[in-house]
Amino acid sequence: MSLPELQVAKTLPDAWDYKGQPVHRATTGGWVSAAMILGVEGCERLATLGIAVNLVTYLTGTMHFGNASSANTVTNFLGTSFMLCLLGGFVADTFLGRYLTIALFAAVQATGVTILAISTAIPSLQPPKCTPDGVNCVSANMTQVSFLYIALYLTALGTGGLKSSVSGFGSDQFDETDKEEKTQMATFFNWFFFFISIGSLGAVTILVYIQDHVGRPWGYGVIACAIVIGWVIFLSGTKRYRFKKLVGSPLTQIASVLVAAWTKRRMELPSDSSLLFNVDDVEITGADSKKNKQKLPHSKQFRFLDKAAIKDTERSFESMVMVDKWSLATLTDVEEVKMVIRMLPIWATTILFWTIYAQMTTFSVSQATTMDRHIGKSFQIPAASLTVFFVGSILLTVPIYDRVISPIAKRFLKHPQGLSPLQRVGVGLVLSILAMAAAALTEIKRLNVARSHGLVDDPSKVVPLTVFWLVPQFLLVGSGEAFTYMGQLDFFLRECPKGMKTMSTGLFLSTLSLGFFFSSLLVTIVHKITGDKKPWIADNLNQGKLYNFYWLLAILSVLNLVLFLVGARWYVYKEHRLAEEGIELKEDDFVGHA
């Protein structure tokens, strides 16, 4: 009997190898497998930022787009990348699993970047260069633009699939029931953020320099090669990976509760909530995970959704066992959906931060192209490399918060985390307002210098003002991102119900996506209203009023902050809400963000 027991101890009950056999702890998973997955994430960030931060200069300088349309192209590209993460997550959770999703979408991303490199290398896929006086400047034709968009959105599709699965598949390599491996998993997410940062730094420094001084084909070619290398390394670890069974998408649960409630909208709710269908009654066929769910108390908010759990009195108990989830949901499923709905006001009021974030890769870079970027007499900083201050600010803010701000806040606010998740988000929103104020004042300064030197009508000349005037806005947004990022992720991770824990990543990524799309919408509206006579966003920035656009964002952010504070005051944390009912919250599994 000892040998079989020893064999069982060596295998994991909830993980399988690539052949579908139980995995052995000693020969699979752990840091070796996780390291192969981390390389893919580093390459993904290298690709996304390596393209996005310097794309606006290519669109205006080579493809002859206007400033407004260039900014919208960049924000639409980034918005689509993050929105497709939701599709990638759905595909991974429901159909392919995380491994196949990563393998497939990494190949798609490599294809997109390769096409982009080709489009920058073939002269016929770019419009002819402008004359020195800028009078004869032909915009890119439909074929050239189409080729560019195919490359960008194939890259966005690949990015979406990767982001949705990389962190989750990395965490699958560690067994949470083993104390040592659970500790290793926490370390894994620290390294995950480190690789994101390294990829970001490489993108905004080395890659941008190669694109500007060696050539775009070389810059994008390096990205494509890095993705292929990361992809090959990832595939080479196939025999070592641990695979988990498909759990289904939380979007399906939300949809099924809404459908069941709607179909029973004319039915009367029982006065006693214990008469509603719940997890301790019977499991719905095909939903084995329900037996692991923590039973949640009934709440009086959004009572319309309770109708999804109304039992059909005309059906026998035995027939109810086989009922479809689209017709009947447990009360716990309903309460989990309510938890998500309660988070929506906070979710909605964090979107605008990422609209401000988008300006760091668009108009701030456009401003930098017009200013003096020299260090010394010979070296000139690429305009897009100014985002190194943005990335550096993030990397500095995280340890400063951890080592300085958090201990002080713990002492005075008596909160175990120092600042609560919502307080951290609030700090990030305040910093974003200050960033837009700084950006507006800097742009006013830049325009005054341009006017005093007679450069208003000559965009080809450099405005004699050092580009380092732009540093404050990059630092403030970078620091704001660190607070908002940490606060949002912590909030969604803690507050999402355990049965829908992958929803935390989806909620977070959707705020980024909608923030970028809102930037595109706002730019389009402003450009249309201000017109060509007195444009805020002119193709020649020296003739525009970009500072008004920054002031508009600052005002919208102040209004958004007020709404956020109202929502934060109204919101009751899940832990406190359950404690009031006398229920102890079970420890949630950690879910990393891609």
Strand partners, 22: 16
The two structure tokens encoding residue 574: 């899940």
pLDDT at 13: 74
Distance between CA 188 and CA 175 in Å, rounded? 13
Which stretches does DSSP call E strand in 212-325?
Answer: none
pLDDT digits (tens, 9 = 90+) for 554-581: 999 999 999 999 999 988 877 777 766 6
The two structure tokens encoding residue 66: 């206007």
Is the pLDDT at 395 greater than 90? The verdict is no
**pTM (predicted TM-score):** 0.83
Is the pLDDT at 206 greater than 60? The verdict is yes
pLDDT digits (tens, 9 = 90+) for 42-61: 788 888 888 988 899 899 88
Is the pLDDT at 177 greater than 60? The verdict is yes
Is the pLDDT at 89 greater than 70? The verdict is yes
Confidence of residue 6 (pLDDT cuts 50, 70, 90): very low
For CA atoms 407, 413, 418, 424, the dihedral sign is: negative
pLDDT at 499: 57
Residue 61 vs residues 129, 140, 441: alpha-carbon distances, Å: 9, 11, 26
Most confident range (mean pLDDT) of 164-178, 191-205, 416-430, 489-503 is 416-430
pLDDT at 80: 93
Helix axis angle, 503-530 to 471-495, nearest 10°: 140
Task: Name 185's Cβ contacts closer than 8 Å, sequence gap at least 6.
Answer: 171, 174, 176, 590
Which contiguous run of DSSP H or E holds residue 100? helix 98-121
pLDDT at 322: 54
Query: How open is the CA angle 310-316-320, to the nearest 5 degrees?
Result: 55
Q: Are 450 and 463 in contact (CB under 8 A)?
A: yes
Is the pLDDT at 353 greater than 70? The verdict is yes
pLDDT at 501: 61
pLDDT at 329: 82
Is the pLDDT at 18 greater than 90? The verdict is no
Among left, alpha and beta (phi > 0; psi -120 to 50; other), residue 116 is alpha
421 versus 430: the higher-pLDDT residue is 430
pLDDT digits (tens, 9 = 90+) for 234-280: 999 888 898 888 767 788 888 889 998 898 888 888 887 777 877 66
Is the pLDDT at 284 greater than 80? The verdict is no
Distance between CA 460 and CA 539 in Å, rounded? 12
pLDDT digits (tens, 9 = 90+) for 298-351: 788 888 888 888 877 665 555 555 556 778 888 888 888 888 888 899 999 999
Mean pLDDT of the chain: 83
Is the pLDDT at 352 greater than 60? The verdict is yes
Residue 222 vs residues 30, 104, 155, 478, 588: alpha-carbon distances, Å: 30, 20, 15, 26, 40
Distance between CA 6 and CA 321 in Å, rounded? 38
pLDDT at 318: 53
pLDDT digits (tens, 9 = 90+) for 93-142: 888 888 999 999 999 999 999 999 999 999 999 998 887 666 678 888 99
Q: Are 490 and 398 in contact (CB under 8 A)?
A: no
The whole-number average pLDDT for the span 280-306 is 65
The two structure tokens encoding residue 326: 């689209």
pLDDT digits (tens, 9 = 90+) for 517-562: 999 999 999 989 987 778 898 888 888 899 999 999 999 999 999 9
The two structure tokens encoding residue 529: 């209203």
